[in-house]
Amino acid sequence: MSLLTIERKVLERNDAIAEKNRETLHKHGVFCVNIVSSPGSGKTTLIERTLEGVKNLIRIAVIEGDVQTDLDARRIAAYGVPTVQIVTNGGCHLEAHLIADALNGISLADADLLLIENVGNLVCPASYDLGEEIKVVVLSVTEGDDKPLKYPAMFRNAAVLVVNKIDLLPYLRCSIDTLVANALGINPRLKVFRLSSATSEGVEAWTSWLVESVARHRKEPSA
- Domain boundaries along the sequence of the chain: 2-219
* Helical ranges in the chain per DSSP H: 2-27, 43-54, 71-77, 96-103, 147-150, 152-157, 176-186, 203-219
Question: Is the confidence at residue 221, as pLDDT, over 80?
Answer: no
Question: For the chain, what percent of residues have pLDDT higher than 70?
Answer: 96
3-state SS assignment for residue 141: helix
**CA-CA distances (angstroms) from residue 145 to 36, 127, 141, 142, 182?**
17, 23, 7, 9, 8
Cα 96 off chain centre by: 14
Judged against a pLDDT cut of 80, whether residue 3 lies above it is answered with: no
Q: What 3 state SS string does 148-164 have?
A: HHHCHHHHHHCCEEEEE
Q: Which CATH architecture has domain 2-219?
A: 3-Layer(aba) Sandwich (3.40)
Distance CA 137, CA 36 (A): 5
Share of the chain above pLDDT 90, in %: 84
* 4 pLDDT more than 60: no
Average pLDDT, the chain: 93
> Is the model's pLDDT at 145 over the cut of 50?
yes
Q: Which residue has the higher pLDDT, 90 or 104?
A: 104
